[in-house]
Amino acid sequence: MDKIGIVTITYNSQKVISEFLKCILSQKYTNFILYIVDNNSNDDSINLIKDYKDDRVIVIENKKNFGVAKANNQGIEQAILDNCEQVLLINNDIECDAHLLDKLLENQSEIKASMVAPKIMYYNKPNYIWYAGSWFSKKNGYLPSHRGINMMDKGQYDTMVKVDYAPTCCILINISVFKDIGLMDENYFVYFDDTDFLFRVFKQGQHKLYYCPDTVLYHKVGTLTNSFQQQNKQIYRSDFFIKQITKNYIYFLKKNGGLFSYFYIIWLFFRNNIKFIINKKIRKDFHTFILINKSYFEGLKM
């Protein structure tokens, strides 16, 4: 039986952490260690975690918020030290049944893949798909997009298939992948860290990732990220989201390199400003205009 290192990151997760722990600690597959990496939460997250007396739970408490990539690396490195054969990267704003681990392992063994990911549904709309596979698209600036997103699940994506990308919301990864590819790039505070990692896997070509629809997860999308804010009853993209997405995408393209990537970086300067004008989810004020363009050039300097 493979030992699984389950890695999750908490940052002010008190609204979701208890249900997450119930789901994980009730798994039928029991050979795992749960590494909870806390990024200096200032709510009741840590106290709620410590209420669970289970030897399989290891808490790593950071004194500052290091971001997602570095925190994931902390958990992965500890899993390697503890001789785990597999790592499950998973958000704690999810819920699942008691067979998540054994089904993922069964799928992985059946198709002899290095990585597997489940079908992911919206928690508040459990019949609607959030993720049913994804592939990198060069014409879209190498961005992956979730197949089936916002579609009612009618079994249309119930075939196991090789994919390029899955969010680290839930992905089971054999330790050999980290040894061959390396860990997460810690220059990403949040967003694009998983895109970068899986694009490196995709380019290297040695390891395969499969979407496994007989395993289902329910995601409380947006619960843990500060991606939206409300102003005068209107919902807008937050400054935090705009900054991280803008600069990290530029950095991702720079890392990828090549003539196409650099042309796309130039195109993004114009596209970002067009989106500022026409996208209803972006505030139309001078502060946001400056933020978009400042973040673009920060990405060029990374």
- State pLDDT tens for residues 36-87: 999 999 999 999 999 988 999 999 999 999 999 999 999 999 999 999 999 9
- The predicted structure's pLDDT at residue 284: 93
At what angle are helices 239-256 and 286-301 packed, to 10 degrees? 30
Percent of the chain at pLDDT exceeding 90 = 93
Which pLDDT value is given to residue 121?
98
Give the pLDDT confidence score for residue 228 in this predicted structure. Answer: 66
Percentage of the chain lying above the pLDDT 70 cut: 98
**pTM attached to this predicted model:** 0.95
Give the model's confidence band at 222: pLDDT under 50 very low, under 70 low, under 90 confident, else very high: confident
* Domains identified in the chain and CATH numbers: 4-219 (3.90.550.60), 228-301 (no CATH)
Mean pLDDT for the stretch of residues 278-298: 96
Among 190, 147, 183, which Cα is nearest to 166's? 147
pLDDT band at 235 (very low <50, low <70, confident <90, very high): confident
C-beta neighbour count of 202 within 10 angstroms: 18
Tell me the mean pLDDT in the region 187-211: 97
pLDDT tens-place string over residues 258-276: 999 999 999 999 999 999 9
Q: How confident is the model at residue 2 (pLDDT cuts 50, 70, 90)?
A: very high
* Residue 25's pLDDT band (cuts 50, 70, 90): very high
Distance separating alpha carbons of residues 174 and 115, to the nearest angstrom: 6
DSSP 155-220: STT-S-EEES---TTEEEEEHHHHHHH-S--TT-SSSSHHHHHHHHHHHH-S--EEEEEEEEEEE-
Q: Which amino acid is at 36?
A: I
Question: Are residues 167 and 194 in contact, defined by beta-carbon separation less than 8 angstroms?
Answer: yes
CA distance 115 to 276: 37
CA angle at 94 for the pair 90 and 98, rounded to the nearest 5°: 85
Euclidean distance between the first and the last CA atom of the chain, given in angstroms as a whole number: 42
Kindly report the backbone phi and psi dihedral angles of residue 277, in degrees, each rounded to the nearest multiple of 5, phi listed first. -80, -40
Is-contact 162 187, C-beta < 8 A? no
Answer whether residue 223 shows pLDDT above 80: no
The per-residue pLDDT for range 100-151, each reduced to its tens digit, is 999 999 999 999 999 999 999 999 999 999 999 999 999 999 999 999 999 9
